[in-house]
Amino acid sequence: MSQGYQVVFTSCPTQQCAEQIAGQLVTQKLAACVTMLPQALSVYEWEGEVVTDHEVLLLIKTTTANIDALFTTIKAAHPYVTPELIGVSISQGSDDYLQWLDQITKGSTHS
Say if residues 40 and 57 touch (Cβ distance below 8 Å): yes
What pLDDT shows up at residue 44?
A: 95
What digits encode the pLDDT tens for the residues 83-111? 999 999 999 999 999 999 999 998 776 65
| Measured distance CA(19)–CA(90) in Å, rounded | 24
What pLDDT shows up at residue 3?
A: 79
Query: What is the set of domains in the chain, with CATH numbers?
Result: 5-105 (3.30.70.120)
What digits encode the pLDDT tens for the residues 16-67? 999 999 999 999 999 999 999 999 999 999 999 999 999 999 999 999 999 9
What pLDDT shows up at residue 107?
A: 72
Beta carbons within 10 angstroms of residue 107's beta carbon: 9
What pLDDT shows up at residue 106?
A: 86
Altogether, the residues listed in the chain come to a count of 111
What pLDDT shows up at residue 59?
A: 99
Q: Which residues contact 68 (CB under 8 A, 6 or more apart)?
A: none
Amino acid at 8: V
pTM of the model: 0.92
